Chain A
């Protein structure tokens, strides 16, 4: 590799990353097939360590190597001082993330799947406007560094996203779903069916009074609780001193029903792979175990800054240097059947979708969200949709006491697996 030699003539360490991707998308707009798109992506990203300083440069023009080399060396001249070592070759778990069924999925078949999704939704809600995007691709990533690591892997991501809007006068319902996989899953319609069930429930509307009550978070709604933790567990925020969990390793921070795991080693999942984007082997990381804080997530740089090992969470896009990011983030299942959780609620709220996720001072754990889809639970039954309702609180207070976690879990937004979570006493604000 002559770029590597060229870089090493001036720098102490060097890393070369090549990306190559091809994808095909079919898009439906307002229930109709509207467009088809092919995409080809190429790029090269370089990092060097020179006199203890880290440099980064990238280009989507693969022929511009000379300027790229100049750029990365200049970047290192001004770069960050960090005791980072690119990894030597290490064996990694075998994780299946390539499936020819996906990479060879024909366009007519993709169109057919899109139509199936739209038909399913229109059966429940004839007035719905449905947009569907299906993208299948092949991504190739290769990482080479001066320590001898030569890692390359192929992935075949398939993602299907769909959004629904239903307007009646000034009354609007919007829903969104996305399914992601890297190995073909025959049950690809399951998330659409779940969404249809929610649409069915939303047909009945009812009202609710403000006050304190039990609140049951559906997996999509549980992201309200999951997002602050995801930020707090990120080693970058810990190093920067802004995570409320900093310096609390080993402490019991949450109810013992809460276990959080980052797992990139699951076959066929959207964010799975054998290695991370820095050539560090992936592994299953238990972050919170029965309420006790066990680990944060790190990439090479944040690990070096923090004096720990990378947890294999270095994640990158072509134009930005690697940074720690969760892969498949999992809140482990509990012991209570969902049906029992609902049956046990005399008067409460089921949170399906929240508006304003990630807005405000999320890392502090504080949230205040109006709910785009929520249901009232009365005498153990879901009785209808409630509108103009919002919830607020702080995750770090609320998760110290969790009434129940469901046995059932669902994959939502491609990379999260979450259960239903019941909090027994929360503040619910409803507009009169």
Chain B
């Protein structure tokens, strides 16, 4: 295959050419309610050629049939020539790399029978179902995927990488008359079958929470001091702030650059936010990104000040900065775009008790249950929440939706916990190309003056 790839690269008439081929298999087991809905294995192979022509633009060809790479390169070149750009696209230089990244899974899921995977999902599903007669519906998903990705470009880089991913996703739906409540738990990682085993407590937690939510009151809308748990804080910083740090948002847009100008104060001194694609074991981790750039840590906010942003080779060249290893693609159907990897609010020094401190009346919002942002406006649902009364976590409440303006909300973060954690639930980012594995990290944080919708 290597010879074929290199011959195809040599045949290209473009100024820059890259080829990424992928082959993989995935097993999915889905229980819904009492029924086994799916027990399937799929095979997915395909590839992408991307060419850049000076004076032209990007030309891309994607395909399933990998036999005729020469034709695909020609197609991509022709596509690139169709595009006539006034300003030539440049790529920031990166070192040529040669690497072969293999994984040794302790308990490789490819050697496990479908019967065993089904049995595990069934165990979890049974826990969900049997927790209470109020549970009317459940979902228990087991999924594993193993793919091999080869990336090569016309500069001489050649990288082969194995990418495993295993996920357990559990949902319980409880119902009492017209009152229907949902709770979910999940874990996901680049790991073996053992990672999916022994997760019974997650099933217990999801089922119990769905039932508990039935008797929780809807929160009374208003402005509150809010304490956010690590999982929700991590999703918040990814969605509401992180996407603005992706340079494809600012590189062609002077007004967006003004909004995101380096040195602007985004938070108080205690706030530090970073992205790091090189941390072992996390979902967003790879040694190289999908352009062959080494990944690493990028500080985005340091001590409250905006200090960095995330780049692909194209955005880095355009802005005169260095590539950060954040060009990522959701599979072979897509050219890489600027994406986050593992993004976090750095841990602070305050204990959880001190964060609750003197809050007379507040809300403790836990886990994300969907969220959306449009630049400076955001809206997040928390999966479950509690009132805080006189510095104590009190009764459970539901339908807590945090909405507001990003800039004022970041400035209103006034305490950062010492209990930093990476979330091992299966975080996915939906920007542009759909779900790409990422990880969210954060400690507990406290935010003043958050508007919460409710009744």
Q: Which residues on A are within 8 Å of B, measured CB to CB?
A: 26, 29-30, 32-43, 55-62, 64, 67-68, 71, 74-75, 77-80, 82, 107-108, 111, 127, 129, 165, 167-170, 172, 174, 240-242, 244, 305, 319-321, 355-361, 363-364, 366, 368-370, 372, 388, 390, 392, 396, 429, 431
Does A75 lie within 8 Å of B114, measured CB to CB? yes
- B4 shortest CB reach to chain A, Å: 16
Cβ–Cβ < 8 Å partners of A242 in chain B: 136-137, 173, 175, 180
Q: How far is the CA of A388 from the CA of B451 in the complex (A)?
A: 10
Does B43 lie within 8 Å of A26, measured CB to CB? no
A366-B59 in contact given A60-B64, A356-B379 (Cβ < 8 Å): no
Does A172 lie within 8 Å of B375, measured CB to CB? yes
Q: How far is the CA of A366 from the CA of B37 in the complex (A)?
A: 28
Give the contacting residue for A37; candidates B44, B60, B178, B381; CB below 8 A: B60
Q: Which residue of chain B has the shortest Cβ distance to A79 in the bound complex?
A: B39
Tally of chain B residues near chain A (CB < 8 A): 78
- B75 shortest CB reach to chain A, Å: 5
Q: How far is the CA of A350 from the CA of B441 in the complex (A)?
A: 39
Q: How far is the CA of A366 from the CA of B253 in the complex (A)?
A: 38
Q: Which residue of chain A has the shortest Cβ distance to B453 in the bound complex?
A: A368
Q: How far is the CA of A170 from the CA of B80 in the complex (A)?
A: 36
Residue B390, interface by CB 8 Å: no
A167-B256 in contact given A32-B85, A74-B41 (Cβ < 8 Å): yes
- Of the A-B pairs whose beta carbons lie under 8 Å apart in the complex, a sample of 11, sorted by A's number, is A34-B57, A35-B79, A38-B61, A60-B43, A62-B64, A71-B43, A305-B35, A321-B38, A356-B379, A370-B377, A370-B453
Q: Which residue of chain B has the shortest Cβ distance to A353 in the bound complex?
A: B374
Residue B3, interface by CB 8 Å: no
Cβ–Cβ < 8 Å partners of B136 in chain A: 240-242
Cβ–Cβ < 8 Å partners of A68 in chain B: 43
Residue B70, interface by CB 8 Å: no
Query: Interface segment, B10-18, B322-330, B401-409?
Result: B401-409
| B61, B64, B370, B377, most chain A CB atoms within 10 A | B64
- A171 shortest CB reach to chain B, Å: 8
Which residues of chain B (159-175) have a CB below 8 Å from chain A? 173, 175
A64-B43 in contact given A167-B259, A360-B369 (Cβ < 8 Å): yes
Cβ–Cβ < 8 Å partners of B371 in chain A: 356, 359
Supplied contacts A33-B85, A172-B374, 17 more A-B pairs, CB within 8 Å: A29-B252, A58-B43, A59-B43, A60-B45, A60-B46, A61-B64, A71-B41, A71-B42, A127-B255, A129-B256, A170-B405, A172-B377, A360-B369, A360-B381, A361-B181, A368-B453, A392-B454
8 cross-chain pairs, A with B, having the tightest CB-CB distances, nearest first: A359-B370, A30-B252, A35-B58, A59-B43, A37-B60, A36-B79, A356-B379, A167-B255
Q: How far is the CA of A260 from the CA of B76 in the complex (A)?
A: 45
Does B379 lie within 8 Å of A369, measured CB to CB? yes
Cβ–Cβ < 8 Å partners of B403 in chain A: 355-356, 370, 390
Which residues of chain B (341-396) have a CB below 8 Å from chain A? 369-381
Residue B221, interface by CB 8 Å: yes
Q: How far is the CA of A37 from the CA of B371 in the complex (A)?
A: 31
Q: How far is the CA of A34 from the CA of B86 in the complex (A)?
A: 10
Does A107 lie within 8 Å of B82, measured CB to CB? yes
One digit per residue, 1 when the CB lies within 8 angstroms of any chain A CB and 0 when it does not, for chain B 402-422 equals: 010101000000000000000
Does A390 lie within 8 Å of B453, measured CB to CB? yes
Q: Which residues on B are within 8 Å of A, measured CB to CB?
A: 23, 26, 32-33, 35-46, 57-65, 75-76, 79-80, 82-86, 114-115, 118, 136-137, 173, 175, 178-182, 221, 248, 252-253, 255-256, 258-259, 333, 335, 369-381, 399, 401, 403, 405, 407, 451, 453-455
Q: Which residue of chain A has the shortest Cβ distance to B314 in the bound complex?
A: A34
- A170 shortest CB reach to chain B, Å: 6
Does B453 lie within 8 Å of A35, measured CB to CB? no
Q: Which residue of chain A has the shortest Cβ distance to B56 in the bound complex?
A: A36
Give the contacting residue for B37; candidates A36, A67, A80, A360; CB below 8 A: A80
A244-B178 in contact given A305-B35, A368-B401, A390-B453 (Cβ < 8 Å): yes
A59-B256 in contact given A172-B377, A242-B180 (Cβ < 8 Å): no
Cβ–Cβ < 8 Å partners of A42 in chain B: 64-65
Does A39 lie within 8 Å of B333, measured CB to CB? yes
Give the contacting residue for A359; candidates B65, B256, B372, B377; CB below 8 A: B372
Q: Which residue of chain B has the shortest Cβ distance to A40 in the bound complex?
A: B63
Does A78 lie within 8 Å of B379, measured CB to CB? no
Does A363 lie within 8 Å of B85, measured CB to CB? no
Q: Which residue of chain B has the shortest Cβ distance to A244 in the bound complex?
A: B178
A355-B377 in contact given A29-B252, A168-B255 (Cβ < 8 Å): yes
Does A34 lie within 8 Å of B399, measured CB to CB? no
Give the contacting residue for B75; candidates A38, A55, A357, A358; CB below 8 A: A38
A129-B137 in contact given A75-B39, A78-B118 (Cβ < 8 Å): no
Cβ–Cβ < 8 Å partners of A321 in chain B: 37-38, 40
A55-B40 in contact given A38-B60, A360-B370 (Cβ < 8 Å): yes
Cβ–Cβ < 8 Å partners of A167 in chain B: 253, 255-256, 258-259, 375
Q: How far is the CA of A165 from the CA of B244 in the complex (A)?
A: 13
A79-B35 in contact given A32-B86, A359-B370 (Cβ < 8 Å): no
Cβ–Cβ < 8 Å partners of A80 in chain B: 35-39
Cβ–Cβ < 8 Å partners of A165 in chain B: 253, 256, 375
A319-B44 in contact given A36-B59, A36-B82, A39-B62 (Cβ < 8 Å): yes
Cβ–Cβ < 8 Å partners of B173 in chain A: 240, 242
Q: How far is the CA of A360 from the CA of B68 in the complex (A)?
A: 47
Does B41 lie within 8 Å of A174, measured CB to CB? no
- A383 shortest CB reach to chain B, Å: 21
Q: How far is the CA of A142 from the CA of B113 in the complex (A)?
A: 32
Q: How far is the CA of A321 from the CA of B374 in the complex (A)?
A: 33
Q: How far is the CA of A292 from the CA of B397 in the complex (A)?
A: 34
Cβ–Cβ < 8 Å partners of B256 in chain A: 129, 165, 167
- A421 shortest CB reach to chain B, Å: 21
Q: How far is the CA of A172 from the CA of B173 in the complex (A)?
A: 38
Cβ–Cβ < 8 Å partners of B44 in chain A: 59-61, 319
A61-B45 in contact given A356-B381, A370-B379 (Cβ < 8 Å): yes
Q: Which residue of chain B has the shortest Cβ distance to A391 in the bound complex?
A: B453
